[in-house]
Amino acid sequence: MNAPLDLARALQAAPASSIPSSLFGLPNQAPHERVLLAADEQTGLKAILAVHNTARGPAFGGCRFWSYDNELSALNDALRLAQGMSLKNALANLPFGGGKAVLIKPAGDFDRAALFAAFGRAVASLDGAYITAEDVGTTTADMRVVQQQTAFVSGIPREGAFGGDPSPKTAWGVFVSIEAGVRLHLKRESLDGVRVALQGLGSVGWHLAEFLHKAGAKLVVADVDAAKVARAQGMFGAQAVGIHEILAADVDVLAPCALGAVLNAQSIPQLRAQLVAGAANNQLATVEDGDTLHQRGIIYLPDYLVNAGGIISVAREFRNEGEESAVMAEVTLIRDRVAELLDRVRVNGNTPAREADAWARSKLVKA
């Protein structure tokens, strides 16, 4: 790991809006416990491993492989995602803290296996303080490569044991959350005929589309991959709209399942959905955007509450616990936590975003 990230040069070149106020944590928040910058000149690895909080146990969170405008944007993403994992693991009652890894996708050709082997060595250097798994841009094959370098990895198919791709579990958690939100906020007893806008048809978004279609929901979809959109039209009778129109679609429910910060000062005034529940991490650009949604009468179910199915899956796999039906039953309990959150909102008068944050932080203690 001999080629440092050039943060000094990035600071000079980056727009002010992308520069974090601290290299150690997020604005107005306690610093992260550890932030490792790992680079390897031979493979092109540039990785940020952020350990937010280990009060409940080792930090657990996926590995994101993405193209970023600059290194500071990647750092900011890692910090936000790691904090979100602390809140997610706490609300899911898992004996783990929160962490995340962000790998900056190299330009041009590169040896993917060699790059992920270098990443595995970076994970190993943390001596178990951080456990990794799949996230946006990574696969079970990547995790198998990481596994050759460290035992602190999950989300891998295992012969005769529970494990593997967690995306169906993530999608199921979002699905039962939408069910609960539709029943409690929209006052509809089923999803039959409910219009749902799906932003993103990746691994999780596609599984969510399958669950929603089977339940009778009417889908409106958008994705940068036109082939996925065409497939959804053929299989689910989905209505296709452009990626710039999906947030303003005339629907009952909006399910963001792509990247974060899509709910912001520009997009929120255009929303027509009454309920927001999706798989994407960090959907709110700022906490104040959650206030704006609430003022508009739109119920936002925080992403780290509803999309916890994947981390529940990989956590049970890592601990050699459970089997398919037991893990699915545990993921289904997210539905009950959604109902509890809405009860807390009604009693305490907070917005869902602020109430969920307070609830999760109250659980950031030793498990």
User: What 3-state DSSP class applies to 163?
Assistant: coil
User: What 3-state DSSP class applies to 355?
Assistant: helix
Q: Which two tokens stand for residue 330?
A: 């545990």
356 contacts 302 by C-beta, under 8 angstroms: yes
CA of 320: how far to CAs of 50, 135, 154, 163, in Å? Answer: 25, 21, 10, 9
Distance CA 33, CA 58 (A): 11
Distance CA 317, CA 367 (A): 18
State the CB neighbour count (10 A cutoff) for residue 160.
Answer: 4
User: What 3-state DSSP class applies to 230?
Assistant: helix
Angle at the Cα of 284 from the Cα atoms of 203 and 91, rounded to 5 degrees: 70
187 catalytic? Reply is no
Q: Which of 236, 253, 237, 235 is nearest to 199 (CA)?
A: 253
State the CB neighbour count (10 A cutoff) for residue 320.
Answer: 10
Q: Which two tokens stand for residue 19?
A: 């520069």
Distance CA 250, CA 33 (A): 43
152 contacts 131 by C-beta, under 8 angstroms: yes
* Catalytic residue selected from 88, 100, 169, 218: 100
Find the helix or strand (DSSP H, E) in which 196 lies. strand 195-199
Distance CA 300, CA 277 (A): 6
The stretches of 185-298 forming alpha helices (DSSP H) are: 203-214, 226-236, 287-295
Residues with a catalytic annotation lie at 100
